[in-house]
Chain A
Amino acid sequence: MSTTSVLGGIVRRREDPALVRGKGRYVDDVKFPGELAVAFVRSPFAHARITSIDTSAAAAMDGVHAVYTIDDVRHLGPVPAQVPIGTLRPLLADGTVHHVGEAVAMVVADDRYVAQDAAELVVVDYDPLPAVVDLEEALRDEVQAHEGKSNVLLTWHGQDWWPGVTDELVDPKPQIEEAKAREDTVVVSLRMTNQRLLPTMIEPRVTVANWNGGYGAFEIWSATQIPHALAGAIGKIFGLPSNKVRVVAPEVGGGFGAKLNIYPEDILCAFASQQLERPVRFVETRREAAVATIQGRGWVGTATLVGTRDGKILGYELEAICDMGAYSHNFTVAIPALGLFVAPGQYDIPTHYELHCVVTNLPTTDAYRGAGRPEAAYYLERIIDHYARTIGMDPAEVRKRNFWPPDAFPVTTSVGLTMDSGDYARNLDALLEWADYEGMKRRRDEARAEGRLVGVGLGTYVEVCGFGPSALAGLGFSWSEYGMPSAFNGSGVVRVNPDGTCTVIIGTGPSGQGHETTWSQIVAEELGIELDAIEVLHGDTAESPFGVGTFGSRSLAVDGTAAFEAASRVRAKAAKIAAHLLEAAPEDIRFADGGAHVAGSPDKAVTWGEIATSAYQPHTLPEGMEGGLEATAVFSPPNATWPFGAHLAMVEVDPDTGNVEILEYWAMDDCGNVVNPMIVAGQIHGGIAQGIGQAMFEHAVYDEDGNLLSAALMDYPMPTAGDLPSFKLNRTTTPTDVNPLGVKGIGEAGTIGSAQTIVNAVVDALAPLGIEHVDMPLRPRAVWEAIQKARG
């Protein structure tokens, strides 16, 4: 097998043979003897004082082992958060409930049927309080979501958002105001909603905690994106050393940020297991997921842009209210800041942000695919389109006039962050040419001439991801709340076993991203070893090196690089051993085809098995060399990475029903170098689908009392196969120098690039009617109403 094509080549996933046979092992597939099940009593009110809880009937039921309330667990403290700004969630409601679905009591029973029946016997009396649901009302702060506490947690300002980072930055606000006051400029403004979403991974949350009093240790199986953080947090909460808590996250059925949190149910299962000395399992129901799992987005704001009549943008402002929900979880208030990081997008424009993070009596918001960056890209790209239409210029042309030029990189944006690399004009031109933008517009105009509502929409984005740099953790993302070092580094172990096979152990916990395949490719390439000889282990804190987790499109750029560096070290040692065995100089050793040979003499060769055997028999090693053939590497990148791209859609709106049909969807993404183009394409497909889901279908809708009206899947229309088109994907390649692989990250890009593309296309279709904006989701009714209104 040739190894030179492994990196950058399409390799079928090594995960799949088990998964397509139904042999994948997810948390709920693994049972422990003597397991108990839990069910929760959840609040029907968004805001209410609890006047009494009577658990006696439930506790007396056959098969019930315990019923817990806050009085039993208050001493454990609240659910820890890395950015502990706002009220942290108590493990169970403490005196007052602050959103519908907040857990009030937990029943532990022989099985889930008994637990559920018993939960219904718990009697809770409530004294309802006024609920804060509307974001404007929350900002006015007249009624408080938490009595006696301001609803406004903080306001992220464009220029003083992070102490110490932005000292030399010029405040662009005076510049923007001056541009607005000029007579030759145009000021455009739109108020837009970026609605709340439910992450809706198909595998719900599931955790089973197993305390062994004999060993004084926990074994916890959980569908989590952050196994090490969960182990750290459990250790911290229960006062155990970290090596007494083992967390296993086997196959994880999707996460999208929602499993990047520690939840009260995880901690409560651990507590109950310790109390009852039995394994205790929580499996979230789909309805529970709609109130007890974090949600995404939830912004309403006004974007304002000022520019000249010939397309030069002179300033951009966004003032928005961001819904934090009732309690702060892992990153909650930091999510809007991620939007701020990419506020100016691909453009060299003075940018001013003001994001008010407000508390409401709704479930918590936190990271959901893109996390702050889709919101930012949406506002910016919508207002640029609106500006282009206002000055009568092609939207692609306006964008090109304001891009950072490629020779400006690394470039420090007006919010004080340095972007690694970019070639935006080349990327956009490649898209326009490949998709035949001119032809598309022609076809649109022809359709329009026939009276049809056809539109073409363009959207660009820049993403910040691949977190690192490690120092970012020191700036307020405090993993220490999870009993972990505060860092954003990556780790990997590469071990060549005595038989010449290779075991790679990674610090990330994937949830569908194909790490086993991608990491195998990296290591195979570096060692010249066959893919099939490599096994990648992950998700078990007892065996893997300390790792931060899988989120923020960071795994490949940070942990993948660590695996690459570990492989390089193994290779260097193996070269010395091979040189010794072949009586050659280490510099002359080459690795290929499952072994090593001397450059220029392919038959002077040893296999990896021979090298490894020697490595584990120290007497056969060069004098003074330590035995063994493995290395651990920790990679700490100097910066985050900044992928980018441009998407283009053509849509048709049915004027009689308001139904939107996506006729074509084209995407030109740039995530730097690519290890496996097939996996990258898959990530983009899924990302686009989630962005289209937001643009056209999904909305977590609440009534004024804070009741979720879209809890069941039929009321929360995430896209089905029939709702979506096939996507046309292509790439440009602009590597980064932030890591030696030149890779950036692709997990969230599709989502960050797509919602604005669809809405821009739909608004373009409706523009002949004088419609300037329609808020997402663009369901038929919303579009139909906009058409009716425009037609008067």
Chain B
Amino acid sequence: MKISVTVNGTRYERDVEPRTLLVHFLREDLGLTGTHVGCDTSYCGACTVLVDGRSVKSCTFLAVAADGAEITTVEGLAADGELHPVQEGFWERHGLQCGFCTPGMIMSSVALLEENPSPSEAEIRHALEGNLCRCTGYHNIVLAVQYAAAKLRGEQPPPADWEEVGA
């Protein structure tokens, strides 16, 4: 089937098999390997992308269903080489270790902050329940989202708790 999608601002017309998953279309047809696959049950969230601004698990979304849509993947967040505040937050607050869950985590966080610019810690944790991370224990991911939220509101991000530890 022919589909036409806009991914990270570029328009693509492609022929895809009806059973092709969006994640495989992105990774294999378009070479956008930043979107990862961590499970086969729509549970881990490593494959999260934005489809028309909504966060979607691209491993359970057919490429044909994205026909006509605007898709943003992690590769499309940085503008003119400048990291998106969420990407910057993950870097500044050590919100990643192995980095495998990170693209999905970042995309879910972007979607959260678009909906709720001042989330509480509980709201951040709740919003990220669909994204699993085995490395960080989520502590620094929460700090990363708080950093990004402050930045996006034009405020000074609060310091990380581990910056103040000196034994």
A→B interface (CB under 8 Å): 10, 12-13, 15-17, 19-26, 28-29, 113, 200-204, 251-254, 256, 285-287, 430, 511-514, 677-679, 681-683, 685-690, 712-714, 718-722, 724, 726-733, 750
A26 and B135 in contact, given A20-B87, A511-B98, A679-B94 (Cβ under 8 angstroms): no
A251 and B98 in contact, given A688-B137, A728-B161 (Cβ under 8 angstroms): yes
Chain A CB within 10 Å — which of B78, B103, B134 has the most? B134
A19 and B102 in contact, given A254-B134, A681-B162, A686-B134 (Cβ under 8 angstroms): yes
- Judge whether B91 and A13 touch: CB under 8 Å: yes
- Judge whether B38 and A286 touch: CB under 8 Å: yes
A724 and B137 in contact, given A202-B46, A202-B98 (Cβ under 8 angstroms): yes
Chain B CB within 10 Å — which of A512, A514, A727, A732 has the most? A512
- Judge whether A204 and B38 touch: CB under 8 Å: yes
- B131: contacting residue among A287, A513, A721, CB under 8 A: A721
When distances are taken between beta carbons in the complex, the residues of chain A under 8 Å from B43 are 286, 712-714
A-B contact list, 8 entries, CB within 8 Å: A20-B87, A21-B77, A202-B38, A681-B165, A713-B44, A721-B124, A721-B129, A724-B125
A721 and B44 in contact, given A430-B167, A681-B165 (Cβ under 8 angstroms): no
Q: Which of B28-36, B50-58, B61-69, B149-157 is near enough to bind chain A?
A: B28-36
- Judge whether A16 and B91 touch: CB under 8 Å: yes
When distances are taken between beta carbons in the complex, the residues of chain A under 8 Å from B78 are 21
- A16: contacting residue among B39, B41, B90, B162, CB under 8 A: B90
- A251: contacting residue among B35, B99, B130, B141, CB under 8 A: B99
A26 and B36 in contact, given A13-B94, A202-B44, A726-B139 (Cβ under 8 angstroms): yes
When distances are taken between beta carbons in the complex, the residues of chain A under 8 Å from B102 are 19-20
- Judge whether B167 and A730 touch: CB under 8 Å: yes
B20 to chain A, nearest CB (A): 10
Number of residue pairs across A and B with beta carbons under 8 Å?
197
Encoded as 1 (CB less than 8 Å from any A CB) or 0, chain B from 78 to 96 comes to 1000010001101110101
- Judge whether B91 and A203 touch: CB under 8 Å: no
Q: Complex: how many Å from CA A204 to CA B99?
A: 13
Interface residues of B in 1-56 (CB under 8 A from A): 19, 27, 32-41, 43-44, 46
Chain A CB within 10 Å — which of B102, B106, B130, B163 has the most? B102
- Judge whether B167 and A732 touch: CB under 8 Å: yes
Told that A21-B87, A202-B100, A254-B135 touch, could you supply 19 new A-B pairs with CB distance under 8 A?
A15-B99, A16-B90, A16-B96, A20-B74, A20-B87, A20-B102, A22-B34, A254-B98, A286-B43, A683-B97, A685-B137, A713-B43, A721-B124, A721-B129, A721-B141, A724-B137, A727-B139, A729-B165, A731-B167
Closest to B19 in A: A113
When distances are taken between beta carbons in the complex, the residues of chain B under 8 Å from A10 are 162-163
- Judge whether A254 and B100 touch: CB under 8 Å: yes
Q: Complex: how many Å from CA A113 to CA B96?
A: 32
Closest to A731 in B: B167
Top-6 shortest CB links A-B: A22-B34, A253-B100, A512-B98, A689-B137, A512-B97, A19-B99
- Judge whether B136 and A686 touch: CB under 8 Å: yes
A64 to chain B, nearest CB (A): 19
- Judge whether A682 and B97 touch: CB under 8 Å: yes
A718 and B132 in contact, given A16-B96, A251-B99, A681-B165 (Cβ under 8 angstroms): yes
When distances are taken between beta carbons in the complex, the residues of chain B under 8 Å from A15 are 99
Q: Complex: how many Å from CA A712 to CA B142?
A: 26
A475 to chain B, nearest CB (A): 32
- Judge whether B135 and A512 touch: CB under 8 Å: yes
When distances are taken between beta carbons in the complex, the residues of chain B under 8 Å from A679 are 94
A203 and B39 in contact, given A19-B96, A721-B138 (Cβ under 8 angstroms): no
Closest to A30 in B: B33
- Judge whether B121 and A203 touch: CB under 8 Å: no
A626 to chain B, nearest CB (A): 40
- Judge whether A721 and B134 touch: CB under 8 Å: no
When distances are taken between beta carbons in the complex, the residues of chain A under 8 Å from B39 are 286, 713
Closest to B106 in A: A20
B→A interface (CB under 8 Å): 19, 27, 32-41, 43-44, 46, 73-75, 77-78, 83, 87-88, 90-92, 94, 96-103, 106, 121, 124-126, 128-142, 160-163, 165, 167
When distances are taken between beta carbons in the complex, the residues of chain B under 8 Å from A688 are 137
- Judge whether A17 and B91 touch: CB under 8 Å: yes
- Judge whether A686 and B161 touch: CB under 8 Å: no
- Judge whether A729 and B162 touch: CB under 8 Å: yes
- A712: contacting residue among B41, B121, B139, CB under 8 A: B41
- Judge whether B41 and A20 touch: CB under 8 Å: no
A203 and B103 in contact, given A22-B74, A690-B134 (Cβ under 8 angstroms): no
When distances are taken between beta carbons in the complex, the residues of chain B under 8 Å from A730 are 165, 167
- A203: contacting residue among B35, B75, B88, B98, CB under 8 A: B98
Q: Complex: how many Å from CA A378 to CA B83?
A: 43
- Judge whether B38 and A686 touch: CB under 8 Å: no
Q: Complex: how many Å from CA A26 to CA B133?
A: 16
- Judge whether A713 and B132 touch: CB under 8 Å: yes
When distances are taken between beta carbons in the complex, the residues of chain B under 8 Å from A513 are 97
A718 to chain B, nearest CB (A): 6
Closest to A681 in B: B162
When distances are taken between beta carbons in the complex, the residues of chain A under 8 Å from B121 are 726
- Judge whether A682 and B134 touch: CB under 8 Å: no
Q: Complex: how many Å from CA A375 to CA B11?
A: 54
- Judge whether A512 and B99 touch: CB under 8 Å: yes
A724 and B100 in contact, given A17-B91, A202-B132, A731-B167 (Cβ under 8 angstroms): no
Q: Complex: how many Å from CA A106 to CA B145?
A: 44
- Judge whether A22 and B32 touch: CB under 8 Å: yes
Closest to A251 in B: B99
A21 and B142 in contact, given A202-B100, A682-B136, A688-B137 (Cβ under 8 angstroms): no
When distances are taken between beta carbons in the complex, the residues of chain B under 8 Å from A200 are 132, 134
- Judge whether A682 and B140 touch: CB under 8 Å: yes
- Judge whether B134 and A201 touch: CB under 8 Å: yes
Closest to A683 in B: B97
Closest to B77 in A: A21
Closest to B76 in A: A22
Q: Complex: how many Å from CA A686 to CA B136?
A: 4
A278 to chain B, nearest CB (A): 18
- A722: contacting residue among B91, B92, B126, B163, CB under 8 A: B126
- B128: contacting residue among A19, A713, A721, CB under 8 A: A721
A666 to chain B, nearest CB (A): 12
- Judge whether B94 and A681 touch: CB under 8 Å: yes
Q: Complex: how many Å from CA A729 to CA B137?
A: 13
Closest to A29 in B: B33
Q: Complex: how many Å from CA A661 to CA B36?
A: 32
A714 to chain B, nearest CB (A): 6
- Judge whether A22 and B35 touch: CB under 8 Å: yes
Closest to A285 in B: B40
When distances are taken between beta carbons in the complex, the residues of chain A under 8 Å from B134 are 200-202, 254, 256, 686, 690, 718
